[in-house]
Amino acid sequence: MPFTDRRDAGRRLAARVESLRGPDTVVLGLPRGGVPVAAEVAEALQAPLDVVVVRKLGVPYQPELALGAIGEDGVRVVDAEILRRSGVTEQQLAAVEEWEQQILRARVLALRGDRPPRTLLGRTAVVVDDGIATGSTARAACRLVRLRGAARVVLAAPVAPAGAAERLTGPDAADQAVFLETPRRLTAVGRWYRDFAQVDDSEVAALLRRLG
């Protein structure tokens, strides 16, 4: 088990992306668990920290399986193959999406309040999560920061399944992907941490106040 906790993972990830240090770099964490990892990266790179808020669209009868994801600014990603295999109808998908949109809006308000997002125009955006499973939320996050004008998008996470770097780089995803561990079979991100305690909104908000 390679990571003690998210802070340990963040410090180790920061060492791998040290070359991205520069005045135009912004680090963006995926709430909630990605933000403590991103905070360590931001501190090491001496870069500002923000969040990129996305929500997984789970299969109704198997919520941990992602059909896709939604994000701020109307970003939407749907995995057509999983949608087909799962048998989820368009009406069911619409119901899941409506519910997650409500949570998304509430989460943005809780974490960022009335502060606008960090300006990304022409900058390097380092998108950080505590681990990649299906990649739907990561893809949505990368698409969102690209829409906001980032000149370069780097996706970074402590752990992701083998092949994720190839799947998550391209015109509608990241320009570069950096992962520390890439197991052939990733059953659950939490199994790669000794301490994978839940992160709450107050912790995320405190990190944003300190490093934003």
Q: Report whether 90 contacts 69 (CB < 8 A).
A: no
Helix axes 6-16, 34-45, angle to 10 degrees: 40
5-44 pLDDT tens trace? 999 999 999 999 999 999 999 999 999 999 999 999 999 9
Q: Is the pLDDT of residue 112 over 90?
A: no
| pLDDT score recorded for residue 114 | 82
How far is CA 126 from each of CA 62, 91, 110, 186, 200, rounded to the nearest angstrom?
Answer: 30, 35, 22, 23, 22
Q: How far apart are CA 89 and CA 179, in angstroms?
A: 34
| pLDDT score recorded for residue 113 | 82
How many other CB atoms are there within 10 angstroms of residue 175's CB atom?
A: 17
Q: Is the pLDDT of residue 153 over 80?
A: yes
67-92 pLDDT tens trace? 899 999 999 999 888 888 889 998 99
Q: How far apart are CA 145 and CA 124, in angstroms?
A: 10
| pLDDT score recorded for residue 1 | 65
Q: How far apart are CA 82 and CA 88, in angstroms?
A: 9
Write down the CATH number for the domain with range 6-53+117-211: 3.40.50.2020
| pLDDT score recorded for residue 168 | 96
Mean pLDDT of the chain, nearest integer: 94
Sheet containing 176-181: which strands, arranged edge to edge? 49-51, 25-29, 124-128, 152-159, 176-181
How far is CA 104 from each of CA 99, 108, 162, 167, rounded to the nearest angstrom?
Answer: 9, 6, 29, 25
The CATH number of domain 55-111 is 3.40.50: no
Q: Domain segments of the chain: what residues?
A: 6-53+117-211, 55-111
